[in-house]
Amino acid sequence: MQVISDLHIHSRFSRATSHDLNIANLEKWAKIKGIDLLGTGDFCHPGWLEELKKELVEDGSGILKTENGFPFILSNEVSLIYTQDGKGRRVHLVILAPSFEIVEKIKNFLKTKGRIDYDGRPIFNLSCDEFAKAMFDISSEIEIIPAHAWTPWFGIFGSVTGFDSIEEAFRDKAKLIRAFETGMSSDPAMNWCLSQLDKYTIVSFSDSHSYWPWRIGREATVFELPRLTYRNIVEAIRDKKIAFTIETPPSYGKYHYDGHRFCQFSCSPKECEEKYDNTCPICHKPLTIGVLHRVNELADRKEGFIPENAKPFKTLLPLHELIGAVFEVSMTSKKVWQEYNALIKAFGNEFNILLNVPFEELRKVTPPRIVHAIKINREGKIKVKPGYDGEYGELILETEKQETLF
């Protein structure tokens, strides 16, 4: 069975999240998006954990289900802020757990290290290796995945607070780490440029702070499983047996290029180094070094290298983005929603539309310009002005006679 999963999300108990983030809305919009399995997010937060225990039922498989049978896996993101080798480190990690029993043990340990009730993504003064040891002392079934690995301030490889390798971060516990999350500003092809990463499974999830379909599932990992169980999911991650990942174009991510958002300035890594000496030409403060620049610093292979047994990936932008760009309106506008809802009504869910529905069938429901946008999106030919320093990239659609392309 094929399972499209998004295992890194948040609840309304995390900062800067939708107040309406609850299990009912997550289930509703996951089905509309075409997601088959969600992480719960934020299981350490007492308020959210209480809600999870009321809304989700365990059956011994490690998969928790709603009253309607929609599946979740217990997940949480934590923030580790500490000093190592004379440098301030900030690393975000996603943890997966197989049961409420294990979650209670995790929660009880973390309560000895700090507060867990103020934010769904709690902060601890723990090193990566200390955290990993504590989790695996609790249970070998816990999975730890470095989140959005290249984000400048909170990624394990981040240009500001990160490390040059997983081994440097986790030290003697590095062997316990089997996977890492690309984040929106990188994709597998960029990570293939580092031979040190060949032994890890590359996964992608949304880190969504809302349930809207342009956030949830915008990045996802697809599994082929004999049966949906926690153990099968974790074994697929640990044994590099995922089917493929779904990625946004890296340039769509908020940290792909170098730049300084307060001055509305961005540039390529080459320009940053050779023309601007890593300094903003407007305010003369240091530029935020983006993901592409950081990948280039650590890469030991040329762009385009594909490792043996590399897993495929598909590059997609959310359907709302496409429709909004075609109509030249906000992706949350009434006009976009009307077109989106018509497509969902006709074809079931967004991933089916983006990945599978034949173009001739799409043309019966939606204008040729939107079919064209879906086509180039499916083919990975979408053009995006790169994002930088916390600013999303901007979709660029060509204006040629798209209706003649079919």
The pLDDT tens digits for 326-380 are: 999 999 999 999 999 999 999 999 999 999 999 999 999 999 999 999 999 999 9
Residue 280 has a pLDDT of 98
Residues 29, 80 within the same domain: yes
Residue 397 has a pLDDT of 85
Q: Residue 3 CB: number of other CB atoms within 10 A?
A: 20
Query: Which pTM value belongs to this model?
Result: 0.96
Residues of the chain with pLDDT under 50: 400-406
Nearest to 64 by CA among 94, 25, 33, 103: 103
Residues 143, 235 within the same domain: yes
Report CA-CA distances (Å) from 58 to 22, 74, 96, 97, 240. 18, 11, 15, 12, 27
Query: Which CATH number covers residue 103?
Result: 3.20.20.140
Q: What's the rounded Cα separation, in Å, for the pair 212 and 47?
A: 22
Residues 284, 364 within the same domain: no
Residues 283, 363 within the same domain: no
Residues 58, 196 within the same domain: yes
Q: Do residues 155 and 91 touch, judged by C-beta distance below 8 A?
A: yes
Domain membership flag for residue 110? yes
Domain of residue 363: give its range.
319-385+394-405
Residue 261 has a pLDDT of 96
Q: What's the rounded Cα separation, in Å, for the pair 352 and 344?
A: 9
Q: Do residues 278 and 287 touch, judged by C-beta distance below 8 A?
A: yes
Q: Quickly list DSSP for 152-215.
A: TTTSTT-TTT--S-HHHHHGGGGGG--EEE--TT--HHHHTT-GGGTTSEEE----BSS-STTT
